[in-house]
């Protein structure tokens, strides 16, 4: 690795006054990046900023209990970025104030989510069709709080309506501290591959930091994204599912060029066990068991007998059952045979 590239890729990410290092971000993922998931990524090292699940500014404003409970980070997770969505400046400003009061380090406004429950309120991806509203919302949020406000967006609505560059300029002009760009259009959903060139073009259009996002699954991918786009930070979503250690691997690779080995099967099972126990502590056994099923499936991907383990996990009703299934799975991972690296 050339020294220049090494230094460039490991500059910290400056969001407002917040120095984020390493410049690697856990993507906000609804139903996934709860406290336990964020903490697993943070604890393994290398993750500079964690993103919460998206929360409704409207529900925050109306004191919705479950929504308020989502503001549930602990000190060890910091810095934490809380993602909010809302369709009007007043609602988003109020949501931002509540999130600031709760102690968030960064507030991120969602301007890319296509889910009907979000876009039908004029929020999320709907704002890509109404950049004037997007501007009013960002301006209102920035004025309402001292905490840095970022925007997360997609390439555009579709290939003929690319808005990322314009929205990044609007974000900068409205006092936003950074912009994250997922290189897919709304219409694309998660199909095809992310267009990293849009990230490069956004980077060239604004002075605020740009966080690149889409299809980073390995340390080499992250390195390529930094190099090809010039982005200031890299956000990882699906690549971290059942692989909270990915941030440590990426940061090690960026810092030293070293490729750390993937944990073997037995280690992955132990990661899953730690994750489920933590989730039980956070949300109680019943909910943890329900929410953990998907995570365990990601952890055991590729393990011998994964299909059978998966079926048992889907039927599990208690922590004890999950522990038994994990013990059995561990037994199937004979040392030296199932290394799964
Ligand atoms: C299950 C799931 C939930 C997601 N929820 C959110 C969300 O709440 N807010 C958001 O901005 N993006 C959300 N995303 C998009 C991710 O943050 C990220 O932009 C996308 O997955 C692309 O990055 P990746 O290729 O690293 O996964 C979600 C993605 C997935 C797979």
Indicate whether 52 and 95 sit together in one domain: yes
Q: For atom 18 of ligand 1, which residue has the closest CA?
A: 237
The CATH number given to whatever domain includes residue 100 is 3.20.20.70
Q: For atom 15 of ligand 1, which residue has the closest CA?
A: 29
Q: How far is the CA of 118 from the centre of ligand 1 (A)?
A: 14
What was the pLDDT predicted at 19? Answer: 96
Q: Is the peptide bond before 4 cis (omega within 30 degrees of 0)?
A: no
Q: Going by C-beta distance under 8 Å and a sequence separation of 6 or more, which residues neighbour residue 139?
A: 89, 174, 175
Say what the pTM is: 0.94
Indicate whether 209 and 298 sit together in one domain: no
Task: Report the domain count for the chain.
Answer: 2
Q: For residue 295, is it within any domain?
A: yes
The CATH number given to whatever domain includes residue 289 is 1.10.1200.80
What was the pLDDT predicted at 294? Answer: 87
Q: For residue 54, is it within any domain?
A: yes
Q: Is 48 in the pocket of ligand 1 (CB under 6 A)?
A: no
Range of the domain at 299: 265-332
What tokens does 221 get?
A: 């991918």
Looking up tokens 């690779």 gives 253
Question: What would the pLDDT profile of 24-55 be if each residue is shown by its tens digit?
Answer: 999 999 999 999 999 999 999 999 999 999 99
Q: For residue 338, is it within any domain?
A: no
Looking up tokens 């019943």 gives 286
Q: How far is the CA of 49 from the centre of ligand 1 (A)?
A: 15
What was the pLDDT predicted at 51? Answer: 97
Catalytic residue numbers? 113
Decide if 80 contacts 73 (C-beta within 8 A): yes
Q: Is 26 in the pocket of ligand 1 (CB under 6 A)?
A: no
Q: What's the CA gap between 139 and 190, in Å, rounded?
A: 29
Nearest atom in ligand 1 to 238's CA: 27
Indicate whether 149 and 180 sit together in one domain: yes
Indicate whether 273 and 323 sit together in one domain: yes
Q: Which residues of the chain have pLDDT under 70?
A: 1-9, 334-341
Looking up tokens 């007998």 gives 305
Q: For residue 340, is it within any domain?
A: no
Domain boundary among 256, 274, 307: 256
Domain boundary among 214, 236, 256: 256
Indicate whether 55 and 106 sit together in one domain: yes
């Amino acid at each position: 690795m050339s020294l220049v590239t090494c230094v460039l890729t490991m500059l910290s990410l400056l969001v407002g006054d917040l120095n984020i290092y390493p410049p690697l971000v856990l993507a906000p993922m609804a139903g996934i990046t709860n406290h336990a998931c964020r903490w697993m990524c943070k604890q393994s090292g290398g993750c500079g900023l964690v993103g919460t699940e998206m929360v409704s500014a409207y529900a925050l404003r109306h004191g919705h209990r479950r929504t308020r409970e989502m503001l549930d980070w602990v000190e060890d997770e910091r810095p934490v970025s809380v993602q909010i969505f809302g369709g009007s400046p007043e609602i988003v400003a109020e949501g931002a104030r509540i999130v600031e009061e709760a102690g968030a380090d960064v507030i991120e406004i969602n301007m890319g989510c296509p889910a009907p429950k979000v876009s039908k309120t004029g929020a999320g991806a709907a704002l890509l069709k109404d950049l004037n509203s997007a501007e009013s919302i960002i301006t209102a949020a920035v004025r309402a709080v001292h905490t840095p406000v970022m925007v997360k967006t997609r390439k555009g609505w579709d290939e003929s309506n690319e808005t990322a560059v314009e929205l990044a300029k609007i974000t900068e002009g409205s006092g936003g501290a950074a912009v994250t760009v997922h290189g897919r259009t709304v219409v694309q959903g998660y199909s095809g591959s992310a267009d990293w060139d849009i990230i490069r073009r956004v980077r060239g259009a604004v002075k605020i930091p740009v966080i690149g996002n889409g299809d980073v699954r390995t340390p080499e991918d992250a390195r390529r994204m930094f190099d090809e786009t010039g982005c200031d930070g890299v956000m990882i979503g699906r690549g971290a599912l059942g692989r909270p250690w990915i941030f440590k691997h990426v940061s090690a690779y960026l810092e030293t060029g070293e490729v750390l080995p993937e944990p073997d099967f037995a280690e992955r099972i132990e990661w899953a066990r730690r994750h489920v126990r933590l989730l039980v502590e956070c949300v109680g056994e019943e909910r943890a068991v329900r929410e953990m099923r998907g995570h365990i499936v990601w952890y055991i991907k590729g393990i011998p007998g994964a299909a059978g383990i998966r079926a048992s996990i889907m039927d599990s009703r208690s922590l004890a059952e999950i522990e038994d299934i994990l013990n059995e799975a561990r037994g199937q991972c004979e040392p030296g045979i199932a290394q799964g690296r």
